[in-house]
Structure 1
Amino acid sequence: MYRYLAFVWNSRNLESARTVNALSTSAPATWNLAYEGTGIKLFRTDARRTASVYRLDRNGGVIFGKLFESHTEAEVPRQAQFDADEALRVVRSGGRRVVERYWGTYLAIVHDDAARKHHVFRDPTGTLPCYSTTYRGVDVFFADIEDALHCLPGPFSIDRDHLSRWLYSLSLAREATAIENVEPLPAGECLTLHEQARTRTRIWDPVAVASAPNFERPEEAELALRSAVQSTVNAWASCYRNITHRLSGGLDSSIVAGCLAHAPAKPQLTFCNLAIEDSDAQQQVHLLGMDRATIEKVRAIVSHGDERRYARLVAQRWGVPLVERKRSPELNMQRLSAIPLRLRPLMYFASMEMDDTRMEMVRNHGAEAFFSGQSGDTVFLATTQPVASIDYARRHGLRPALWRHLLASSTLSKESLWTVLQKTVSHGLLRRRYVSRFHTFWRTTLLNSELATQMAHSEQTLREAQHVATAALPPGTQMLANAIASTAYHEFVVHTRGLADDIDPLDAQPVWEVALRIPSYTSLKGATSRGLARHAFRDVLPEEIRKRTAKGSGSAFYQNVVHKHRGLLRDQLLDGHLVNDGYLDRRKLEECLALDDPSTQIVASTLLSYLAAEIWMQQWKQVGTATAARYRNAVS
């Protein structure tokens, strides 16, 4: 993760200028001033210097990160270069030209001197974190709150509403942080600062992309998808000499592995697999709040988390060393209190062993970057919903080919042909709203009843807003467009954040733009989840993986973790901040933890998330006490 700290202010305001100077002097000596322009100061705080600083001539601002050219026939996309003319085009477009002509991981601060405006935005898929706050007329942007704490006196208080949303459902926590007065800069949006005015405009819209001419024909879609993924992998692979790829053995990570093996840069590759213990794999997974039909669907596609056999097939195919490590439920959960500060609770229990393995790969194997297959489920369309026939009917109406898609949707969804036909007529031909079963199940929670009711209403409001925003799209494409906001994985990068970069090549603007233009009935080729991707990359996939439709799951593993750590959960939660501050219902919590297997009452990962939030609150209450004193001194 690239780390930075940027100050943006109205250069005509002398008081703001003095504030920036005061904040800058508190920066640690390890920080370096990467750019200084009219109303802009950018410090880079990452020691590895893998990010680039693109200075826009004529006082046009700066772009920090990695940028590659779009719309190029080059096998390896070139890194961006901005001469004076190109910089002028960027400024005149208010920054839009960056989104239209380039892609990558970046923060852009574009300065329009004539209009006295600053335009601030990040890459449309949000792979580079960007948070902001204001202090005495200065806008402060940063990737890591610990960097901001070096110079900002605060105050930093916990946002009760957002923390409630996080505890109820992570999907409700996308557009804010759990700390007051600190907010994320939404991906795809541009914040324009003009004297005292602040406006937001969307400069990259997934709905507009999906509404463009689409790749209807499977042959054309295959070529476009294959080209976008391989080109993206080629671009990122050219930036590193030593890459470790997190190879789960699933379809998505196997596709990225094959593309890495074909990258022209030929970096040194190591594959890494993290598997759960065999004993955990045999445990029955409790599926709470779902009806019988939905449970049967889930059980049909979910397998245990030990996929080493498949990872070995891929490693053997490409002759790449495979490092295998195991996960054990005997986790040292006390480590949750030693992780760096975050702006919302971090589910470190989900990545603790991977964090250890990544540190091992940096120290012993010289890893400069970690690649993964993250976002593959989304961009390749992993679903068992009958959206193919619904989307086809909505796009094309009653045509002979609809019958073929009805049969395919029935096969994929394991629903009767009659049921699929009813849904296709209702949601396809008549264009009524389609709601997936996975969005209607009862959510298990130990929040107090009043708070749980409020959050359930908030979740319904969110889904209504998402539907309104994407209503012009067929349901299958709506699912894809709404998923873009939830693809940021940088929050799970902990102790290697300053030692190696994390690259998710499938979570890239060129890949998303192709995926959004492929209709669901094309993506689900062969009546198979991610069917088009299976066919497009068939030559780089072992046949056993290409045909495999089950997905590995860690649910049973977390159930075992909860079972083994009930004592710690009781000690931390029953008389903790979440109970005392009115978030969790103590009676419900006590009854749950008294069970031999609490996972029969609440999803194991949810209970572990409560523990993560409790420890996170302990951290921030300590920080809050210290910063409150600093803030009082600063304003006195």
Structure 2
Amino acid sequence: MGVDSFVVLVGDTAAALEAVVAPMRRRLAGAGWSCRVSHPFVAVYAPSDRLAITAGLDGHGVLIGQMFGNSGRATPTSELAVLACRPLDATAARRLVAERWGRYVLIRRTAGDTAILRDPSGAIEAVCWRRSGVTLIASSAAPVLDRLLPDDLALDWEAVARLVGRGGEYRHSLALTKLTPIAGGELRVVGAGGSHGAQIWRPADIYRGGRDRPADLRSVVQTAVRSLAGDHRWIAEVSGGLDSAIVAASLEPLQRDRVAAWVNHYVEHPEGDERAYARAVVARHSHGLTEVRREGLNLSAERLARTTDAFRPATNDIDTDYNDDIAVRVREGGAWGSLTGQGGDAVFFQMPSPLIAFDELQERGLWARPAAVHRIARWTRRSLWPSAWLRALQEHRRSRADWDHPWLDDLKGVPPAKALQISILAFCQTFQGQAARSREGVCVNPLLSQPVMEAGLSWSTVDLTWGGRDRFAARAAFKDVLPPSIYARRSKGELGAFYGEAVAGQLPFLKDYLLGGALAQAGLLDDLEPDLAREALLWRGGFSRLLTLALTEAWIRRWTSRLAARSWPDGDRTSR
């Protein structure tokens, strides 16, 4: 359960809300959930005071989280309370998304229905359902909420099979029936008559001209980083790569002084030791680097079970030791949470893809620049012979069949590399998910904020990578504040060998855990045994799939147990 956990209950009538809430008050209080809003039609509970919750002045709305104007100014609580009073239809939602951004879920009761707007970044999870005349919206599936879940809730084994078949990929759809996930930028209206959603914000719309391309990419990033960092104390993750260096450089000097620790995790393999680059980042700002040597992975059934109280398998917790270390540092350092550079690869376009050439052709037509295509060919090490490029395009089109996110439903007019970027941004919703560190503090990914995503989406992939250079536009924007070694760097840290060895060391546990578990019993792992050999793991890879399967298995076991317990006569067992 993360510090962003909450549950909002909106009653069709005051009596319906009271009937659902009354039996839960003592249970919620006993689990540490405090009542943050209590009005006749709206109630909000949360276990942490780190999540801002603002009630509407009229008692019919609530805003969860924080919001900023486009200038980066934090919206005062008094303004948030007014916003939560206003009608929330598609027109109002579009205006709000155009004028403000942040980490929020806005909920408004109107004429018996409940309108829910999740901010485009998807920073805070939001899942909704109905129960006894009440609409519920939650970010957490903590066991204390079991009595609030639908009585006929069940595992969707077809959805579980899709999770297993494309392990590690983000899937918007849930593997639990009767629950509706709300996408980033979606307005969903729920009531006695049913539920329907409208995608208010789409990445494709930004590309197609919904927003003008910002002339100054740097100012957009700096505004987002500084606004989200605020005046809190943070654990800053410094990988040694470009993205985390940009986040560090974007902080105000006083904000950097409030960082409790600049943390770099490294391994003994030369390709996985990025300390020299990370040291250059923090030394530029006269700070020291906390260097953490990695040695294997800590895997056990107990450890895997820690982050199963979510609506999805905790694939953001794939590196258990990394997340545990950050969690300890957040707690012991008195930090508000952790600050990362995750998402920069997608927003600034790190992928060396031949599809970029097709973007150049589609966007410029007869005026396409041969030099741009030549540079892309050199970067991707491909012949200029057309057949090689057409194969890449065909593979891309085939891959679209399994895309699962509302952001990917309408890509009309979007060229292939830009579509690839949008699909990877959808995958980056994984980084907004629960992990062990989010149980101790807020995990903030500024490069996945709405204004930064919009900046990256509005630029052509050709311009983002001009000259055959990954993240070219971002490098150019921050050149004078980055260490020369980071600016000039063309390689990325490679931890494949480390993870291969680490997971190989856990094969006895993984074999027993997976082949003797619920997924295997359901016949979903019939082809797995050959991959559970050390030789296969070290030569062919596949460690990511095994770790993802282990997290999915833990989640299935937890939910199987919870759903079985809900049918027991002793209802108290449902909260354990």
TM-score (norm 1): 0.81
Which residue of the partner structure matches residue 57 of structure 2? Answer: 57
> CA deviation digits over 1:332-391, x for unaligned, max 9?
434434414233333477332222322332344222221000100010011211344322
Change (3 A) 1:529 1:104: same
* Residue 568 (structure 2) pairs with residue 629 (structure 1): yes
Which residue of the partner structure matches residue 232 of structure 1? Answer: 224
Q: Give distance in 2, aligned partners of 1:94 and 1:465.
A: 20
Change (3 A) 1:467 1:251: same
CA contact (8 A) 1:125 1:485 kept: no
Which residue of the partner structure matches residue 288 of structure 2? Answer: 321
> CA deviation digits over 1:210-260, x for unaligned, max 9?
1117767xxx64x1x1111100111122241x2111110001011111112
Deviation at 1:269, TM superposition (A): 4.9
Which residue of the partner structure matches residue 34 of structure 1? Answer: 36
Find the partner of 2:180 among 178, 183, 188: 183
Deviation at 1:120, TM superposition (A): 0.8
Change (3 A) 1:275 1:155: farther
Find the partner of 2:265 among 256, 261, 274: 274
Find the partner of 2:340 among 368, 372, 377: 372
Find the partner of 1:613 among 552, 555, 562: 552
Instruction: Supply the AA of the counterpart residue of 2:98.
Output: E
Deviation at 1:533, TM superposition (A): 0.5
What are the within-5 Å matches in structure 2 for residues 306-317 of structure 1?
306-317=273-284
Query: SS at 1:106's partner residue?
Result: strand
Change (3 A) 1:436 1:377: farther
Q: Give distance in 2, aligned partners of 1:81 and 1:245.
A: 31
Instruction: Supply the AA of the counterpart residue of 1:621.
Output: T
Q: Give distance in 1, aligned partners of 2:538 and 2:559.
A: 29
Q: Give distance in 2, aligned partners of 1:348 and 1:486.
A: 11
CA contact (8 A) 2:85 2:108 kept: no
Which residue of the partner structure matches residue 450 of structure 1? Answer: none
Deviation at 1:133, TM superposition (A): 2.9
Find the partner of 1:211 among 208, 213, 234: 208
Query: SS at 1:551's partner residue?
Result: coil
* Residue 537 (structure 2) pairs with residue 569 (structure 1): no
Query: SS at 1:367's partner residue?
Result: coil
Deviation at 1:564, TM superposition (A): 1.4
**Structure 2, unaligned runs of 5 or more:** none
Shifted more, 101-110 versus 598-607: the winner is 598-607
RMSD value over aligned CA atoms?
A: 3.2
> CA deviation digits over 1:607-634, x for unaligned, max 9?
2333333333333332232122159999
Find the partner of 2:96 among 80, 95, 98: 98
CA contact (8 A) 1:55 1:63 kept: yes
Instruction: Supply the AA of the counterpart residue of 2:504.
Output: H
Instruction: Supply the AA of the counterpart residue of 1:478.
Output: A
What are the within-5 Å matches in structure 2 for residues 89-488 of structure 1?
91=88, 93-112=91-110, 115-146=111-142, 149=145, 151-152=147-148, 154=151, 156-170=153-167, 174-212=171-209, 221=215, 223=216, 225-240=217-232, 242-262=233-253, 267-278=258-269, 304-329=271-296, 331-341=298-308, 342-347=310-315, 350-399=318-367, 402-419=369-386, 423=389, 434-435=393-394, 460-462=401-403, 469-488=410-429
Q: Give distance in 2, aligned partners of 1:5 and 1:312.
A: 42
Q: Give distance in 2, aligned partners of 1:213 and 1:495.
A: 37
Report how many residues are paired: 567
Instruction: Supply the AA of the counterpart residue of 1:275.
Output: Y
Q: Give distance in 1, aligned partners of 2:511 and 2:88.
A: 56
Q: Give distance in 1, aligned partners of 2:362 and 2:173.
A: 34
Which residue of the partner structure matches residue 523 of structure 2? Answer: 582
> CA deviation digits over 1:262-313, x for unaligned, max 9?
46785345210111232xx5xxxxxxxxxxxxxxxxxxxxxx3321111111
Which residue of the partner structure matches residue 448 of structure 1? Answer: none
> CA deviation digits over 1:582-627, x for unaligned, max 9?
1111xx4444435644444661221233333333333333223212
Q: Give distance in 2, aligned partners of 1:339 and 1:3.
A: 15
Shifted more, 351-360 versus 250-259: the winner is 351-360
Which residue of the partner structure matches residue 490 of structure 2? Answer: 549
Instruction: Supply the AA of the counterpart residue of 2:27.
Output: S
> CA deviation digits over 1:396-436, x for unaligned, max 9?
2112x61221222222222123439x85xx79xxxxx9345
> CA deviation digits over 1:50-93, x for unaligned, max 9?
332233333451101111112x3x6x555564278755655474
Q: Give distance in 2, aligned partners of 1:332 and 1:237.
A: 32
Q: Give distance in 1, aligned partners of 2:335 and 2:208.
A: 40
Change (3 A) 1:182 1:170: farther
Which residue of the partner structure matches residue 523 of structure 1? Answer: 464
Query: SS at 1:50's partner residue?
Result: coil
Query: SS at 1:584's partner residue?
Result: coil
Larger radius of gyration: 1
Deviation at 1:467, TM superposition (A): 6.7
Which residue of the partner structure matches residue 69 of structure 2? Answer: 69
CA contact (8 A) 1:369 1:501 kept: yes
**Structure 1, unaligned runs of 5 or more:** 282-303, 428-432, 441-458
Which residue of the partner structure matches residue 9 of structure 1? Answer: 11
CA contact (8 A) 2:418 2:460 kept: yes
CA contact (8 A) 1:125 1:484 kept: no
Deviation at 1:486, TM superposition (A): 2.0
Shifted more, 467-476 versus 408-417: the winner is 467-476
Instruction: Supply the AA of the counterpart residue of 2:554.
Output: I
Identity of aligned residues (%): 24
Shifted more, 480-489 versus 545-554: the winner is 480-489
* Residue 516 (structure 2) pairs with residue 604 (structure 1): no
Q: Give distance in 2, aligned partners of 1:206 and 1:107.
A: 19
CA contact (8 A) 2:13 2:133 kept: no
CA contact (8 A) 1:77 1:234 kept: no
Shifted more, 206-215 versus 490-499: the winner is 490-499
> CA deviation digits over 1:111-145, x for unaligned, max 9?
33xx4432112111211011223323322221111
Deviation at 1:507, TM superposition (A): 0.7
Change (3 A) 1:32 1:464: closer
Instruction: Supply the AA of the counterpart residue of 2:369.
Output: L
Deviation at 1:173, TM superposition (A): 5.1
Which residue of the partner structure matches residue 289 of structure 1? Answer: none
Query: SS at 1:434's partner residue?
Result: helix
Q: Give distance in 2, aligned partners of 1:196 and 1:564.
A: 53
Deviation at 1:491, TM superposition (A): 6.2
Instruction: Supply the AA of the counterpart residue of 1:21.
Output: A
Deviation at 1:475, TM superposition (A): 1.8
Q: Give distance in 1, aligned partners of 2:405 and 2:43.
A: 40
Query: SS at 2:290's partner residue?
Result: strand
Shifted more, 572-581 versus 100-109: the winner is 572-581
Change (3 A) 1:65 1:84: closer
Q: Give distance in 2, aligned partners of 1:82 and 1:24.
A: 30
Instruction: Supply the AA of the counterpart residue of 1:235.
Output: S
Change (3 A) 1:631 1:192: farther
Shifted more, 332-341 versus 249-258: the winner is 332-341
